[in-house]
């Protein structure tokens, strides 16, 4: 393991030297990539120092015990040895996971889309509940959430809502939320007290940076319209809403959240880039899944991934068979336990795969 960490240290030293070179700083794409690599490698290099210190302590203690000339020193060395050996397995386990090659998308910001599915008004209300859950979760992590576009439901919630989330390792955390979410509860409109099942689809797209997707604006038709929905007189009189049509693929994007036409255009282009990027990513994920069918794959957005059952107060993630009787906290944004279990499952799969190919 130390040999692997020494190779990491060697690469870290190379990257540290590269990111201060003027020609690298001038090449924005290369500079951003190397900065990301620097951050990831630094975590491992820091962990290497801790690991190395534990190994040195073990070696030093064993030498003192073997020498045996000073009884007091031997006693202290035995305590040092025991303490170091206790720490060793957990740090080795941490390093094993850290050495798993990271998905390069994981560090990206995301575009999230929530769409009401089957269930009419209740599905729109549920889509609104999911949006609130994610907003609270993201804000609790110090991430920034910005609405891009929305279409409100007739009885509350949203028929669809698109929003961006900016922060550290957002896609790596949120990618498992893609898929069909199902709710079982008595709707407010139900007079007989019967439990209904409704659904909403969540999509999590890694936000494409400018150099990820070459977007030729001559392929994009820009339509400027007035905004719709609540917001005062200026909403229906100012041509601030933007609709983009990407002619080669037929992808359409709309943004009306900002009062400024320029800001709406900027946001709409971001969404369009992410949609185009996702098409390429979907192809890659299909290739990967042919090689390894992951239990927690974020590729299949039509798969039913989670059920929120209100009468029983439970949430079940069907991919990993996890059931938690903590629905009220979960819908208020406390989804950490689910996210961590999904991450752990993916890491375990990757670790198994890595050991098979070694």
Between residues 78 and 299, the one the model is more confident about? 78
Between residues 127 and 266, the one the model is more confident about? 127
* pLDDT over 80 (residue 27): yes
236-264 per-position pLDDT tens digit: 445 678 899 999 888 888 888 777 888 88
Nearest residue to 251 via CA among 210, 219, 284: 219
The rounded mean pLDDT for the chain is 85
What DSSP string describes 248-312?
TTTEEEEE-SSSSHHHHHHHHHHHHHHHHHHHHHHHHHHHHHHH---TT-S--TTSEEEEEETTT
Structural tokens at position 275: 């949609």
Q: Where are the alpha helices (DSSP H) in 153-199?
A: 170-174
Q: How far apart are the first and last CA of the chain?
A: 13
pLDDT over 90 percentage in the chain: 48
pLDDT at position 357 is 52
* pLDDT over 80 (residue 213): no
pLDDT at position 217 is 87
pLDDT at position 309 is 97
pLDDT at position 239 is 67
Question: CA–CA separation, 246 vs 250, rounded Å?
Answer: 5
Q: Report, as an integer, the average pLDDT of 212-236.
A: 69
The answer to whether 58 and 79 have CB atoms below 8 angstroms apart is no
90-138 per-position pLDDT tens digit: 999 888 878 877 777 888 899 999 999 988 899 999 999 999 999 999 9
Give the global pTM: 0.69
pLDDT at position 273 is 86
Nearest residue to 275 via CA among 341, 344, 204: 204
Question: CA–CA separation, 346 vs 344, rounded Å?
Answer: 5
* pLDDT over 50 (residue 51): yes
Beta carbons within 8 Å of 74's beta carbon, 6+ residues apart: 64, 65, 68
Q: Worst-scoring range by mean pLDDT, 81-90, 168-177, 274-283? A: 274-283
pLDDT at position 212 is 65
Question: CA–CA separation, 195 vs 184, rounded Å?
Answer: 6
The answer to whether 271 and 111 have CB atoms below 8 angstroms apart is yes
CA-based radius of gyration for the chain: 25
pLDDT at position 292 is 45
pLDDT at position 280 is 76
330-351 per-position pLDDT tens digit: 999 999 999 999 988 888 887 7
Question: CA–CA separation, 308 vs 319, rounded Å?
Answer: 14
Q: Would you place residue 284 in the very low, low, confident or very high pLDDT band (cuts 50, 70, 90)?
A: low
């Amino acid at each position: 393991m130390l040999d692997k960490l020494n190779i990491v240290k060697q690469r870290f030293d190379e990257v540290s030297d590269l990111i201060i070179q003027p020609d690298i700083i001038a090449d924005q794409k290369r500079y951003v990539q190397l900065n990301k690599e620097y951050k990831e490698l630094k975590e491992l290099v820091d962990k290497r120092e801790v690991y190395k210190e534990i190994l040195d302590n073990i070696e030093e203690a064993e030498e003192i015990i073997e020498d045996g000339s000073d009884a007091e020193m031997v006693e202290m060395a035995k305590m040092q040895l025991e303490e170091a050996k206790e720490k060793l397995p957990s740090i080795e386990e941490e390093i094993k996971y850290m050495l798993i090659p990271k998905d390069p998308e994981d560090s990206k910001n995301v575009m999230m889309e929530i769409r009401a599915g089957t269930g009419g008004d209740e599905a729109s209300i549920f889509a609104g509940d999911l949006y609130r859950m994610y907003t609270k979760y993201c804000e609790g992590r110090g991430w920034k959430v910005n609405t891009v576009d929305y279409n409100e439901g007739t009885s509350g919630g949203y028929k669809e809502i698109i929003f961006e989330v900016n922060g550290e390792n957002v896609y790596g955390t949120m990618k498992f939320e893609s898929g069909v979410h199902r709710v079982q509860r008595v709707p407010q409109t139900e007079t007989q007290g019967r439990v209904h099942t409704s659904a909403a689809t969540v999509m999590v797209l890694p936000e494409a940076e400018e150099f990820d997707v070459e977007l030729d604006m001559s392929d994009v038709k820009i339509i400027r319209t007035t905004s719709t929905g609540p917001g005062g007189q200026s909403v229906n009189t100012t041509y601030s809403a933007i609709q983009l049509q990407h002619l080669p693929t037929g992808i359409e994007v709309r943004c009306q959240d900002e009062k400024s036409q320029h800001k709406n255009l900027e946001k709409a282009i971001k969404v369009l880039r992410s949609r185009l990027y996702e098409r390429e990513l979907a192809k890659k994920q299909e290739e990967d899944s042919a090689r390894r069918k992951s239990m927690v794959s974020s590729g299949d957005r039509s798969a039913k991934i989670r059920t929120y059952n209100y009468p029983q107060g439970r949430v079940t993630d069907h991919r990993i068979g996890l059931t938690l009787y903590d629905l009220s906290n979960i819908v208020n944004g406390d989804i950490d336990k689910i996210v961590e279990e999904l991450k752990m499952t993916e890491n375990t799969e990757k670790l198994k795969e890595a050991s098979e190919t070694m």
